[in-house]
Structure 1
Amino acid sequence: MSTLPYPSKVILITGASSGIGEATARRLVGLGHRVLLGARRTDRLQKLVEELRTQGGQADYRALDVTDAADFQAFTDYAAQVFGPVDVLVNNAGVMPLSPLNALKTNEWNQMIDVNIRGVLYGIAAVLPGMEARGRGHIVNVASIGAHVVVPTGAVYCATKYAVWAITDGLRQESNVVRATTISPGVVETELADHISDPVARDAMAEYRRIALKADAIARAIAYAVEQPEDVDVNEIIVRPLAGTGG
């Protein structure tokens, strides 16, 4: 484990069982932070936490459904019991079942709204009062390049990520003590695309992902924002593969 030039922070990570969430957990625990991992697949969380502890890291996990406000609050309360008051929340959990609007996949639309928007809001609601009371804190929301560019089959997904961008910037403007960061990844090697049910969108994403970044590229961006001095607020970072920066 690395030695930090400042006190170790208590950090929550949602969607931590794979992809960007898992990579961020590895990166932040490796830097010496105390990290609570949340997701629905607790078997994966348990395996990851055991590995991190074997390496000398401070990590724990709890089952988390980000679409349940009470469960998110319980997740936050558990972190305070195990590690202390929460310093940083990384709202990473998200879903991306792309499809054209005329496919009328309304259940998938609602799933994206529930996880990608309500999940972020419930996380903010769980940590913001305590952060404001202590006069410090940091909320990192993982959006997407889809928060800046709309693509065919991505209308609803991009709308949810635009919302994440707007929510984060609103928080930035409203608070003088809580830092707010939007991380907008381009195409990354994650499991998000594995749940696309529409065949046209699935085939298009398979082609798009040929230039995908490793998840640790996003974890490094999150770590950069987290490690800045308390008077520095990194508002947004966009991270894309070099091969895709011209589009």
Structure 2
Amino acid sequence: MKDFTDKVVVVTGGATGIGKALADRFGAEGAKVILAARREDRLREAVEDLAGKGVEARYQVCDISRREDAEALADYAFAEFGQVDVLVNNAGRAGFPATVIDSTEEAFEEVFRVNVFGQLNGIWAFAKRMIAQGTPAMILNVNSEVGLYIPSPMVGTYAASKYAGRAISETLRVEVPDHIHVGVVYPGLVQSELGGTTEITQAGMPAKDFVDIIWPQIENDEFHIVSHPWAKDYFGETAHELAAAFDRYAPHFDGDEKYDSKWLASQTVG
């Protein structure tokens, strides 16, 4: 989708950081923008900033971890503009630094409520309506490079949520009709208010620079949308390790096609 003129874009977690930078770019490309987040003061500031740049913008206070808030956001967007062409599932929260052994059920639940169910709530509220429009549309799920590899200890809650989010995106893209494009974005460290220490969050890539890198990928309808080069190296290490394990212990053999799970699924699904 290369022309966003008069397209309607909804961005969750849109008041600050990556969400606001994406809203700026969509607006600069001629889109109408609806921002959603929990903090009304920051939403108001963001919309005023967009309006000052000539962008038609609205906001809706929304806790995306609540299904009813996501449905209310969709109701508002379609009532205001009659359509939604792009949904950016950007809202997220940082994990709780702890080893997996020392972590708690509550910690995993809190992170999953936003990073997994928040994404799902956006999909559940918007996707069927976007499909029914019958026009080209896009769902962008902002994930993390931590959904590709484990950078360090103490990231279990966050990484688990991002691996789950990647699986949801991978599955969604093979389920939606052709006029719906799904993309999954893998930011590395970007300056934001996501959480963590100021030293870490402000050491990242400026959000505008990040959006400049991923924008051509959005225009080209890429599925994997990437930004931070070292993620390739670390993800590649995992991929190499897995491939080596298969080569050593589970190489192809005559007749192994009868155990091909993807082929077997294709015979029973659809």
Task: Give the AA of the match of 1:237.
Answer: I
Give the one of 26, 42, 45 matched to 2:43: 45
Structure (1 or 2) with the larger CA radius of gyration: 2
Give the one of 7, 15, 18 matched to 1:17: 15
1:198 matched residue in structure 2: none
Q: Percent identity?
A: 34
The Cα shift of 1:244 comes to 7.4
The Cα shift of 1:95 comes to 0.6
The separation in 1 between residues aligned to 2:5 and 2:16, in whole angstroms, is 27
CA contact (8 A) 1:189 1:215 kept: yes
The separation in 2 between residues aligned to 1:226 and 1:186, in whole angstroms, is 17
> Structure 2 length normalisation: TM-score?
0.77
CA contact (8 A) 1:138 1:226 kept: no
The Cα shift of 1:219 comes to 2.5
Task: Give the AA of the match of 1:144.
Answer: S
Task: Give the AA of the match of 2:137.
Answer: G
1:183 paired with 2:175, answer no
RMSD: 2.2
Task: Give the AA of the match of 1:235.
Answer: F
Unmatched tracts of structure 1, length 5 or more: 195-201
2:194 matched residue in structure 1: 192
User: Structure 1 segments of 4 or more deviating over 4 A?
Assistant: 208-211, 242-247
Task: Give the AA of the match of 2:141.
Answer: N
Task: Give the AA of the match of 1:180.
Answer: V
Give the one of 22, 27, 30 matched to 2:28: 30
1:197 matched residue in structure 2: none
1:83 paired with 2:81, answer yes
Measured against aligned partners, the alpha-carbon deviations of 1:175-202 in whole angstroms (never above 9, x if no partner) come to 22210000001111112233xxxxxxx5
1:172 matched residue in structure 2: 173
2:149 matched residue in structure 1: 149
Answer with 103-112 or 113-122: which moved more: 103-112
1:235 matched residue in structure 2: 223
Task: Give the AA of the match of 1:148.
Answer: L
The separation in 1 between residues aligned to 2:81 and 2:63, in whole angstroms, is 21
SS in 1 for 2:195: helix
The separation in 2 between residues aligned to 1:147 and 1:47, in whole angstroms, is 31
CA contact (8 A) 2:145 2:186 kept: yes
CA contact (8 A) 1:28 1:223 kept: no
Task: Give the AA of the match of 2:47.
Answer: V
The Cα shift of 1:107 comes to 2.7
1:8 paired with 2:6, answer yes
Taking the TM superposition and a 5 Å limit, the aligned residue runs for 1:40-189 are 40-99=38-97, 100-135=99-134, 136-150=136-150, 151-175=152-176, 176-189=178-191
Counterparts in 2 of 1:93 and 1:210: CA distance versus 1, 3 Å: closer
SS in 2 for 1:101: coil
The Cα shift of 1:217 comes to 3.0
Counterparts in 2 of 1:244 and 1:90: CA distance versus 1, 3 Å: closer
The Cα shift of 1:109 comes to 1.7
Task: Give the AA of the match of 1:108.
Answer: A
The separation in 1 between residues aligned to 2:4 and 2:51, in whole angstroms, is 21
Structure scoring higher RCO (CA < 8 A, sep ≥ 6) equals: 1
The Cα shift of 1:78 comes to 0.7
CA contact (8 A) 1:24 1:220 kept: no
Give the one of 194, 201, 206 matched to 1:214: 206
The separation in 1 between residues aligned to 2:41 and 2:172, in whole angstroms, is 34
> Structure 1 length normalisation: TM-score?
0.84
